[in-house]
Amino acid sequence: MTAAVASEAGTRRYETVIGIETHCELGTATKMFCACPTVFGAEPNTQVCPVCLGEPGSLPVANGRAVDYAARIGLALHCRIAERSQFHRKNYFYPDMPKNYQISQYDEPLCVDGWLDVDVEGEVRRIGITRVHLEEDTGKSLHVGATGRIHGADYSLVDYNRAGIPLVEVVSEPDLRSAEEARAYAEELRAVLLALGVSDAKLEEGSMRFDVNVSIRPLGQAEYGTKIELKNLNSLRSLYRAVAYEADRQHRVLAEGGKLTQETRHWDEGAGRTEPMRSKEFATDYRYFPEPDLVPIEATAGWVDGLRAELPELPAERRARLAEATGLPAKEVGWLVRDPEVLAYFEAVLPGRDPKVVAGWVMGELQHDLREFGHTMASNPVGPERLGQLLDLLAAGTISATAAKDVLAEMFTSEASPATVVERKGLAQISDTGELEAVVQRVVAANPDLADKFRGGKRGVLGALVGQVMRETHGRANPKLVSDLLERHIGG
Partner 1 sequence: MSPADWAGPADPVPGSLADLTAHELAERFADGRATAVQATEAALERIAATDEQLHAFLTVTSDQALKAAGEVDAARERGAPLGPLAGVPLALKDVLVTKGVRTTAGSKILDEFVPPYDATVVRRLRDSGVVILGKTNMDEFAMGSSTENSGFGTTRNPWDPTQVPGGSSGGSAAAVAAGQAPLGIGTDTGGSIRQPAALCGIVGVKPTYGLVSRYGLIAFASSLDQVGPFARDVRDAATLLETIAGHDPMDSTSIPDAPVDFTSGLTEGIEGLRVGVVKELFLEGTEPGVLARVREGLDRLERLGARLEECSLPSFEYALSAYYLIAPAECSSNLARYDGVRWGLRAKDSADVVDMMQRTRQAGFGAEVKRRIMLGTYALSAGYYDAYYGQAQKVRTLVRRELEDAYRRFDLLVGPTAPTVAFPVGEKADDPLAMYLNDVFTIPVNLAGNAAVSVPAGLSEGLPVGLQLIAPALGEATMLRAAWAFEQDLGLSTRPIRPTAATGEVGP
- Judged by the rule CB under 8 A, the positions of this chain that interact with partner 1 are 50, 53-62, 89, 91, 93, 95, 98-101, 150-153, 156, 158, 280, 285, 287-289, 292-295
**CB 398 within 8 Å of CB 428:** yes
Distance separating alpha carbons of residues 470 and 4, to the nearest angstrom: 50
99 vs 318, beta carbon nearer partner 1: 99
Q: Angle of helix 479-491 relative to helix 433-446, nearest 10 degrees?
A: 60
Kindly tell me which of 91 and 483 has the beta carbon lying closer to partner 1: 91
201 burial level (CB within 10 Å; 0-12, 13-18, 19+): buried
3-class SS of residue 1:
coil
CA 412, distance to chain mean position in Å, is 25
As measured in angstroms, the least distance from the Cβ of 151 to partner 1 is 6
Q: Is 492 exposed, middle or buried (0-12, 13-18, 19+ CB in 10 A)?
A: exposed
Amino acid sitting at position 182: A
**Smallest separation, CB 130 to partner 1 (Å):** 20
C-beta of 103 vs 486, nearer to partner 1: 103
Q: Is 113 left (phi over 0), alpha (psi -120 to 50) or beta?
A: left
Give dist(CA 464, CA 393) in Å, integer.
26
Q: Which is nearer to partner 1, 34 or 366 (CB)?
A: 34
CA angle 218/116/27 to nearest 5° reads 125
Smallest gap from Cβ 352 to partner 1, in A, equals: 53
Question: In whole angstroms, how close is the CB of 127 to partner 1 at the nearest point?
Answer: 29
Shortest distance (Å) from residue 264 CB to partner 1: 17
CB of 291 to partner 1, least distance (A): 8
Contacts of 258 (CB under 8 A, 6+ apart): none
With respect to partner 1, which residue has the nearer C-beta, 50 or 467?
A: 50
- Tell me if 422 sits within 8 A of 389, measured CB to CB: no
Which CB sits closer to partner 1, 38 or 63? 63
Cβ proximity to partner 1: between 124 and 142 the closer is 142
Q: Among residues 281 and 423, whose Cβ is nearest to partner 1?
A: 281
Encoded amino acid at 53, one letter: L
DSSP state of 216: E
Taking the complex as a whole, how short is the minimal distance between the CB of residue 77 and partner 1, in angstroms? 27
- CA 52-56-58 angle, to 5 degrees, is 50
- Rounded to a whole number of angstroms, the minimum distance from the CB of residue 256 to partner 1 is 34
Give the DSSP H/E element, type plus range, for residue 405.
helix 401-411
